[in-house]
Amino acid sequence: MPNPAIAMAALLALTAGLMTAIRIFQRRCSPHPEWSRKLMHVGTGLLALSLPWLFESPWPVLILCAAGATGMGVIKRAARLRETVGCVVGDVARHSAGDITFPLGIAAVFLLSEGDCLLYTVPVLVLTFADAAAALVGTFYGLFRFETPGGRKSVEGSFAFFVVAFLCIHIPLLLCSDGGQEKAVLIALLLGLLLTIVEALAGWRGLDNLFIPVAGLIFLRAMIDAPVMELVMQEMVMLSLATGIVLFRRWTTLDTNALLGALLVGYMSWILGGWQGILASLVLFLNCFSRGGCPPTGELEVGHGQGASHR
């Protein structure tokens, strides 16, 4: 491995160079602000993918991520910097701390993966590419929107997240694990769906940049050694929960966010408590039924094209 100090200096220089290059592109071509923000997102994500091959100890990674989060905080608060290089990530209309939580998420995954390159790489790939795809598709093509704790998101953006997340999970598992193609597909389907729900629920002020990689690592670690039949059972439980929620959503007092949360809680109840856990969650869900069958708040709304949703 290279000298840690040299590797750290190189990564910091590449990050600064990337931000400068995107700012030059921004001034010359005047792209939509989301393009500049996601170019920086993908670029730093690609740099982060190299960390397990550059550093054995977590300390250089923690220092780099702390420096990155601190640097972005300074840029957002210093007027001169905010109006120059800060425009790369700060020109979007919504308020977000995603540029600060991004390095925190990378640091957390590096620590939790404990040197396992696969456990590190898969969540970072999902964060890098699936999150960017969701934002771009939702911004430019999002028509069917729903309310989330962080604002409005789109069905199209969530679908894009799931498709890209599936590929980011399936391909590394297929190439780097010994579970076989069938297991790689099952894990990619289940984990992709779970992280799509996490992304929809954890988008408040950019916290998805922290929760997506951490949840991805935790779920992947639980799935990667599971037998195929157990994964099939988990898929069936998840499909049954989703079908039940879709069929009965109009008779509950829960909004879209709560229904997505109920789906996630139901799955976790099955993992932790089996059928007893599912029954306990079902009782809570039934308590949210309205006698008159009134529709829940937070229904899907049809937008009007580009810019209708923050994602």
In a domain, 302, yes or no: no
Dihedral angle sign, alpha carbons of residues 159, 198, 257, 89: negative
Whether 230 maps to a domain, the answer reads yes
Q: Is 1 exposed, middle or buried (0-12, 13-18, 19+ CB in 10 A)?
A: exposed
How many structural domains is the chain composed of?
Answer: 1
With beta carbons less than 8 A apart as the criterion, state whether 264 and 194 touch: yes
pLDDT at 62: 95
Query: pLDDT value at position 297?
Result: 46
β-bridge pairing 301-302 and 151-154? unpaired
Q: In the prediction, which pLDDT does 296 show?
A: 47
- Sort 116 into a burial class: Cβ within 10 Å, 0-12 / 13-18 / 19+: middle
Q: What is the pLDDT along the chain (311 residues), one digit of tens a residue?
A: 778 999 999 999 999 899 889 888 888 888 888 888 889 999 999 999 999 999 989 999 999 999 988 888 777 777 666 666 666 665 555 556 777 889 999 999 999 999 999 999 999 999 999 999 998 998 888 788 777 665 677 889 999 999 999 999 999 999 998 888 899 999 999 999 999 988 888 766 668 899 999 999 999 998 998 899 989 988 888 887 778 767 766 776 666 677 777 777 777 776 766 666 666 666 666 666 554 444 444 455 665 444 444 45
Longest dimension (CA), the chain: 68
- Structural domain contains residue 300: no
User: For position 175, what pLDDT does the model report?
Assistant: 92
Dihedral of CA 109/110/114/118: which sign?
positive
Residue 32 resides in a domain: yes
Which pLDDT score is estimated for 183? 94
Per-residue pLDDT, 301: 60
The parent domain of residue 242 ranges over 4-286
In this structure, is residue 291 part of a structural domain? no
Residue 273 in any domain: the answer is yes
What's residue 203's pLDDT? 63
In a domain, 304, yes or no: no
How large is the C-alpha radius of gyration of the chain? Answer: 20
Residue 308: the pLDDT is 41
Does residue 256 fall inside a structural domain?
A: yes
